[in-house]
């Protein structure tokens, strides 16, 4: 299902013309208009999902299959030094367009992109408690 006021629905379904790097029945891969680096693309499902929490498993699986293929092709073609594949859910996580999208960001030794955080320390009690709580939910 599409959402009328969603720009990514319009881009993914051709209502707004765009250069697609790849397209099939489920997803479209387009260039990010504000790229972090050369070759930064987005994998966008054609159906509207606000984020990963509302996405069905079939679409989620396909998104990553396509992301994997695109990443390998970009890596071979661009001569980049590495790649980030990331996906933000919710404003606090950095999501700015509320239609699920996965970023594929080629990385170069001299790029100025900073995707880092300060490492904390794992709380073993928290982890064991969470394992128990989620055992039958995943
Ligand atoms: Zn949408």
Predicted local distance difference test score (pLDDT) of residue 1: 75
Tell me the CA–centroid distance for residue 43 and ligand 1, in Å: 13
Is 101 considered catalytic here? yes
Dump pLDDT digits (tens) for 52-95: 999 999 999 999 999 999 999 999 999 999 999 999 999 999 99
Q: What is the DSSP letter of 4?
A: T
Its pTM stands at 0.93
Domains of the chain: 7-134 (3.30.428.10)
**Contacts for 79 with CB less than 8 Å, ≥ 6 apart:** none
Dump pLDDT digits (tens) for 10-67: 999 999 999 999 999 999 999 999 999 999 999 999 999 999 999 999 999 999 999 9
Tell me the CA–centroid distance for residue 4 and ligand 1, in Å: 8
**Contacts for 25 with CB less than 8 Å, ≥ 6 apart:** 46
Tell me the CA–centroid distance for residue 119 and ligand 1, in Å: 34
Question: Of 48, 101, 103, 128, which residue is the catalytic one?
Answer: 101
Residue 17 and residue 20: Cα distance in Å, rounded? 9
């Amino acid at each position: 299902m599409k959402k009328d006021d969603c720009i990514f629905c319009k881009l993914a379904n051709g209502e707004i013309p765009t250069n697609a790097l790849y397209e099939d029945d489920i997803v479209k891969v387009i260039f990010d208009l504000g790229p972090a680096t050369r070759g930064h693309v987005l994998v966008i499902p054609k159906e509207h999902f606000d984020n990963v929490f509302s996405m069905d498993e079939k679409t989620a699986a396909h998104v990553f299959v396509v992301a994997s293929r695109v990443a390998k092709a970009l890596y071979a073609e661009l001569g980049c030094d590495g790649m980030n594949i990331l996906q933000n859910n919710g404003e606090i996580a950095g999501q700015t367009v509320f239609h699920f999208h996965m970023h594929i960001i080629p990385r170069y030794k001299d790029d100025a992109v900073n995707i880092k955080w300060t490492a904390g320390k794992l709380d073993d009690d928290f982890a064991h408690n969470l394992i128990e709580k989620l055992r039958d939910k995943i």
